[in-house]
Structure 1
Amino acid sequence: MGTLYRRFPTKTYLVAAVVAEQVARVADDAEVVLARVDAGARAADELTAFLGRVVEAAATDRAVKAAAQALGAEPGDHAEEARALQAVLDAVADLPLHAVMATGHAVEPSAPRPPPNAEVHPYVPHAVVMPAVSLVVGHGGHGTTMQALAHDLPLVVMPMHPMLDQSMIAKAVEQQGAARVVRRNASPERIRAAISDLLASGPHRQASARLGTRLRAEPGDAAAADRIGTLAATPA
């Protein structure tokens, strides 16, 4: 790893390069799959085989595993996530609001120390909490971000993984005026300032409502289900 590492300014760049190479291989494989389907292969069979290869590669690729070890991103190592969650809780401690936090699978819900105005759970259904909140603090995952915008909610986005799409999603929503982006090691004071800005009235409210209107107008899951059904029914 020492020889490889000299080619990259930080370990994060090393991991990003390794993952980018893996993504490129997946993209090439996807092009082959599409060509086979166009040539008459059964789409459902090709898709199943393709997803199987993707999962197997992710589980067995020694280069990705070595890079993850270099970054300290082995399964079970979630110290950075735990620190970020605690920073968010510390940020809301002095604000006149009630916060609901979902830790997800990475951090035990008993690990963070919530202030009196916050509650912590391992999981909170989006459909239950989104209609009752004023903004969302998230890491830029596609699901939570889209759900927040679909409910006209602005976001404070803290991307946690530079090699995934979180930073791109955060930047895109911020450019639309519906988010503030903070670093994953942001101080509670920085997070508190972003939350306070978005709790107030302003153009970010109009921006998130505009995006929400567009999202709700899309056919969404019904269109996806129809497309999957069409592909599965494609004859060999």
Structure 2
Amino acid sequence: MSLYFRYLNIQLKSQLQYRASFLLLSIGQFFIPFMVFGGLYFMFERFGQLEGWSFFEVTLCFAVIHLSFSLSECFARGFDAFSSLVASGDFDRLLVRPRGTVVQVLGSKFEFTRIGRLLQSTIVLIWSIANLPQVWSFPKAITLFFMVFNGVMIFTGIFILAATFCFWTIQAIEIANVFTDGGREMAQYPLTIYEKWVTRFFTFIVPFGCVTYLPLMYLLDKEEGSWVTGMLVPFGGLLFLLPCLLVWRIGVRHYRSTGS
């Protein structure tokens, strides 16, 4: 972790060398998600509720998933941009260093301009909680924290899987965007509005349901929710991340050097 934070410090200093560009990109990242949020707001203005879910209940779901995605995109960007390391042969340099490849790839790229998205998601989260008094308790605050943590683990795991395919295909496959960008758009709404097979897939295979829907049932005192579900389900992200790391190790073993 000491090495990781050194990578973090170096990348931050390098990006702040162009402060105007950094500031403008951060502002842009702040306003872009508002377009999506605006669509959500006007939908509730027109229809009032969504399958029994109120506006602030859905915005809490929206804030958690966008906050998770922004954190993962900021700190796990190295895996999202991993194809460039393979194509250029720079991954060979990582292999001969006396540190694990996971830490080195994580430290190869950070997107600090995503602070704009983080701020936007945090504002929506605070606004939602302020209008949902049933969420105001310490156990539920802990659950909310693990929901975000769980989401970061899931998105990071998807980035790792997409990067692993680069060992065979050189370029990252676009299907990964179905589970990153598509997963973010899908999971910003409660899973009950989708078909059952979609709900089951995104609960037991790619466990976005562990990020939002199942813990939300506990946070919002829904009939199906319980404190056991709320406190234990958010750890599903770790159960998803561990196999992704195992697949990564298999990919590294099958990597063929560029010979450069």
Both proteins in one fold, TM over 0.5: no
Give the TM interval when normalised to the shorter protein. 0.3 to 0.5
TM-score (norm 2): 0.31
More strand by share: 1
Higher RCO (C-alpha 8 Å, min separation 6)? 2
Larger radius of gyration: 1
User: TM-score if structure 1 supplies the norm length?
Assistant: 0.34
